[in-house]
């Protein structure tokens, strides 16, 4: 057994574990934001990675959970595009930058994700991102490059908040979607992996909570079709009541 397997912390089930395990078909949404030294995952450095967990309370409402963020050392031979560094404001070689090797950063992050997956009785994590294909491509490239085992994320499925926000709010730019949803946006903090991941998590929760009625109707229909057992998906007093 690998050293990674021995370091997983003990798990107690979260209050909303039964509901979360049903909500996304056994997948646990975890928001990931990556800041990189360019747009090519095969050649450009991964410089920051942040993950924000999505929590669910006992009533079935989603909330932004804990954040884990790491500065990452450019891998040997990595390309650093000056335009990308200007956009993010990252100085990869700053002497006070507390950066970790890719393998170390990913192992630490994945350990936390695996713990959350078990705490919510889920089978696997699914990456949530704003332009999620970018983040997943960089994450998968780093996993291969650093030879990291036990990746808890689905290898190709994602929840993209660009699509969710476009459908629910009519906006696809993160700053505009967050703003029209009634949340604060600080342009000066943007392009930090932690800040962008936390705003993306809040946006994801806002959209999913707004779709709760639609989800419950679909869940009941799935149960009628025999796809699920007869247990209710949420406490009955939490369900939208029909108008008299």
Q: Give the three-class secondary structure for 143.
A: helix
Q: In 3D, which of 52, 25, 63, 30 has the Cα closest to residue 222?
A: 25
Q: How far is CA 131 from the centre of its chain?
A: 12
Q: Out of 63, 71, 115, 191, which one is annotated catalytic? A: 191
Length of the chain: 244
The span from the CA of 209 to the CA of 138, in Å, is: 29
For the chain, where are the E strands, in sequence order? 27-36, 46-56, 62-72, 99-100, 124-129, 153-160
Is 191 tagged catalytic?
yes
Say if CB 37 and CB 75 are below 8 A apart.
Answer: no
Q: In 3D, which of 38, 8, 13, 42 has the Cα closest to residue 28?
A: 13
Task: Tell whether the torsion through CA atoms of 89, 91, 95 and 98 is positive or negative.
Answer: positive
> Taking the CA atoms of the chain, what radius of gyration do you get in angstroms?
19
Q: In 3D, which of 34, 87, 32 has the Cα closest to residue 54?
A: 32
What are the catalytic residues? 191
């Amino acid at each position: 057994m690998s050293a990674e397997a021995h370091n997983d912390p003990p798990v107690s089930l979260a209050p909303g574990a039964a509901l979360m395990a049903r909500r996304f078909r056994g997948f646990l949404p975890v928001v990931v934001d990556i800041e990189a030294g360019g747009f090519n995952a095969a050649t450009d450095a991964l410089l920051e990675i942040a993950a924000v967990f999505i929590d669910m309370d006992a009533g079935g409402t989603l909330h932004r959970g804990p954040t884990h963020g790491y500065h990452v050392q450019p891998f040997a031979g990595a390309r650093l595009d000056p335009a990308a560094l200007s956009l993010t404001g990252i100085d990869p070689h700053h002497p006070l930058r507390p950066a970790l090797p890719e393998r170390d950063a990913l192992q630490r992050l994945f350990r936390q994700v695996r713990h959350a997956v078990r705490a919510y009785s889920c089978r696997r994590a699914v990456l949530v991102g704003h332009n999620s294909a970018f983040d997943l491509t960089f994450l998968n490239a780093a996993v291969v490059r650093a030879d990291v085992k036990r990746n808890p994320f689905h290898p190709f499925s994602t929840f993209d908040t660009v699509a969710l926000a476009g459908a629910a709010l009519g906006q696809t730019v993160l700053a505009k979607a967050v703003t029209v949803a009634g949340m604060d946006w600080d342009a000066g903090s943007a392009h930090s992996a932690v800040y962008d991941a936390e705003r993306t998590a809040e946006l994801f929760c806002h959209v999913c909570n707004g779709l709760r009625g639609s989800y419950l109707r679909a869940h009941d229909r799935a149960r009628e079709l025999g796809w699920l057992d007869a247990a209710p998906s949420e406490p009955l007093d939490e369900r939208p009541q029909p108008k008299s």
